[in-house]
């Protein structure tokens, strides 16, 4: 949950740094009903809805963050840690020089 709070702080900082003439519009959540369950402190319902919503599709980063947060809230810290590590690995992969495009 700490990582998701840090992410919110980064978004808040970005919004504050925007100039008055800039129009920053963030996309809506990929899984709005899942975030509602998580906000309602219902981690088991959150996990069930994520499973239903994602099916066999590649898990988007937002889904991984929601799942890790819900697992932690459900007292399943070891499973949550696995997902946080996957999130960190994905972030590290995107920052490797070979994955950055030069236009």
Tell me how many degrees the CA angle 94-97-100 measures, rounded to the nearest 5. 60
Stretch 69-93: mean pLDDT: 93
Q: Which two tokens stand for residue 86?
A: 């996957």
pLDDT for the residue numbered 88 = 92
pLDDT digits (tens, 9 = 90+) for 42-58: 999 989 988 888 765 66
pLDDT category, 69, cuts 50, 70, 90? very high
pTM of the full predicted structure? Answer: 0.60
- CB-count burial class (<10 Å; 0-12, 13-18, 19+) for 3: middle
Q: Where are the domains of the chain?
A: 32-95
Q: Please say if the pLDDT value at position 10 is more than 50.
A: no
What average pLDDT is seen over the chain? 77
């Amino acid at each position: 949950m700490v990582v998701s709070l840090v992410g919110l702080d980064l978004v808040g900082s970005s919004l504050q740094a925007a100039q008055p003439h800039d129009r920053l519009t963030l996309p809506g959540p990929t899984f709005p009903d899942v975030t509602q369950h998580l906000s309602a402190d219902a981690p088991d319902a959150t996990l069930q809805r994520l499973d239903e919503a994602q099916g066999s599709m590649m898990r988007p980063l937002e889904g991984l963050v929601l799942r890790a947060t819900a697992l932690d809230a459900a007292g399943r810290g070891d499973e949550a840690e696995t997902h946080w590590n996957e999130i960190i690995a994905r972030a590290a992969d995107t920052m490797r020089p070979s994955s950055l495009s030069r236009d």
